[in-house]
Structure 1
């Protein structure tokens, strides 16, 4: 269980917190862009004990549970967890780091008015159990496909991915192009023909830090919640990652509790960092990929559209809608849910029109 950081941490753990902060500051100095320069504001503290289990965040949410249900399915030795509900054409949602299916929870009811929604925990992450054979995005896409097409019989889907989950979603679309009607790519510059993995890692200290073998786990494992709380603010609207003065995490204490609940599992923590350790393979796979031709929408943080579009354009020549989300940093869905919902509903309502 996850309890309040203010009440449950033994005193000796502060030495580990100091070690984390010291290492992060050193990496920031070495690897960050010129915009990363400010202090981290205080993060919200945990507000309540969070129960264990895949339905921990929704167990007492009667309204949500009337519309959605938690399911699991075994896929090549990985028990994949997903949440589904609604009616209409399938819409599959893939999360990024450090999040889970829960990143979509706020906008799922609106999406479910028009679609049967499937919000997945990626293999090895969230409340999925077991480790995939690799965390490169092409391999993860094949696990997702075996769940959707092989276990659930979904051979025509709409697809949306955020952050590193968008890397998985792109690989799904390029490997199974006849099965994806429309694709929404949310705030993920792509390693590939226009951006090498090494240059990608140098864009921010955290990409270099997370790519190190074993080192992030050693520093973070006892302070997962603290680390995530600081990181959420770093790439939020106004955060230092975007050259701003600094920002608080845009998530509530209970939302951070839920993400920390899953990433406190050692295998999930390592799996999350493995998403970064496989960027070189992602670059190779994306360079070899056939560009996707289905209608594609690109949503980015405010101020980052041109850069992100330059990295994905060689792989997505049919971008029919590209827009920055106003007053949003990296956490588009949380920071401006109304705007993102409207964009997704409008885009996917157009169906297979080409």
Structure 2
């Protein structure tokens, strides 16, 4: 834990190697030395991530969850995709971002499941999905997700909500299968494309340039996955240094961080997450080639970022019928302001195709 002198020095040594390997990480080193950042670790005595393993590690003892939801898998083109489903009503598909999994939606899924049949999907190659997809560009991942939803589950009319890099997948799903998406919610993800190049995207933050490097992120992070994620969660939280703030703690409990770290400690998943960034040039090309989506679309962003994000997505979304800047929230919208996100999603999707 970062609260012990031995581990703190180990993490400092690791980050000094990052600085030597990539100048972009200087910003993180500064952020991580603030008292706010150092306070992000779990309290002493917290069970480490390795104490609980398996796809249901975070839910196997959660009786309330298990009454309402179930873990399932399906094979799609050589990849076993893990997803969690429950509820009644029209299908509502949830796609996660980095560095998260289906579990990012856990807090708001019960309320959504009162109105919809929820499908929270682990993206191919991430979370508890097993196997390597043929590519990590978002158009390819969208086709895998379509294979799960339309091919395996027979869902040809869905509501779709996607966050972060998962929203890159969400946009491509809506663009490739426009007749199958009734409504689309795009959460906190500027799109590389006609209004914002992949190169410009990588310059938005040190981590986008760092994660784009071949081999370096895995080499420098693999022994300290949980520490790295803990620091990163606070970096782009409300008030975090990533948004020009003084610094913030991760808006997650120790158990939540354990669950995310459990999946990213798998080497394939760690590399798969970084590959989401390494394919941004392909995403830019594919997004430029896509026709603008026309289904009703809701844009939700972190506080203070709505107009910038809108400027990158508007050329590709011709029917943004709702745009919301989530007050009191940084990048982690469903966790930092769950009440507002839940209310907005229920109201938006409740309007149907009209």
Structure 1 partner of 2:24: 27
CA deviation after TM superposition for structure 1 residue 48, in Å: 1.7
SS in 1 for 2:315: coil
Root mean square deviation of aligned Cα: 2.2
Contact 1:36–1:242, Cα closer than 8 Å, also in 2: no
Structure 1 partner of 2:104: 103
In 1, distance between residues paired with 2:103 and 2:325? 23
Structure 2 alignment gaps of length 5 or more: none
Is 1:138 matched up with 2:139? yes
Contact 1:44–1:252, Cα closer than 8 Å, also in 2: no
Contact 1:95–1:161, Cα closer than 8 Å, also in 2: yes
Is 1:124 matched up with 2:125? yes
Larger deviation, residues 40-49 vs 63-72: 40-49
TM-score by length of 2: 0.93
SS in 2 for 1:313: helix
SS in 2 for 1:85: strand
Structure 1 partner of 2:302: 301
TM-score by length of 1: 0.93
Residue deviations 1:228-253 (CA, integer Å, cap 9, x gap): 00000000000011110000111000
* 1:29-178 → structure 2 map (5 Å cutoff): 29=26, 39=34, 40-45=37-42, 47-49=46-48, 50-178=51-179
CA deviation after TM superposition for structure 1 residue 43, in Å: 1.5
In 2, distance between residues paired with 1:344 and 1:23? 39
Seen in structure 2, the aligned counterparts of structure 1 residues 199 and 291 have a Cα distance that, compared at 3 Å, is same
SS in 2 for 1:232: helix
In 1, distance between residues paired with 2:300 and 2:251? 18
Seen in structure 2, the aligned counterparts of structure 1 residues 21 and 248 have a Cα distance that, compared at 3 Å, is farther
Residue deviations 1:2-61 (CA, integer Å, cap 9, x gap): xx6779x9x6995465223552594244799xx979833421227224411100000000
Contact 1:300–1:323, Cα closer than 8 Å, also in 2: yes
Seen in structure 2, the aligned counterparts of structure 1 residues 59 and 236 have a Cα distance that, compared at 3 Å, is same
SS in 2 for 1:321: strand
Larger deviation, residues 12-21 vs 194-203: 12-21
Contact 2:25–2:210, Cα closer than 8 Å, also in 1: no
In 1, distance between residues paired with 2:295 and 2:134? 29
SS in 2 for 1:183: strand
Count of residue pairs the alignment pairs up: 346
Structure 1 alignment gaps of length 5 or more: none
In 2, distance between residues paired with 1:48 and 1:259? 14
Is 1:231 matched up with 2:232? yes
Structure 2 partner of 1:200: 201
Seen in structure 2, the aligned counterparts of structure 1 residues 235 and 168 have a Cα distance that, compared at 3 Å, is same
CA deviation after TM superposition for structure 1 residue 196, in Å: 0.2
Residue deviations 1:71-130 (CA, integer Å, cap 9, x gap): 001111111000000000000000000000000000000000010000000000000001
Contact 1:229–1:249, Cα closer than 8 Å, also in 2: yes
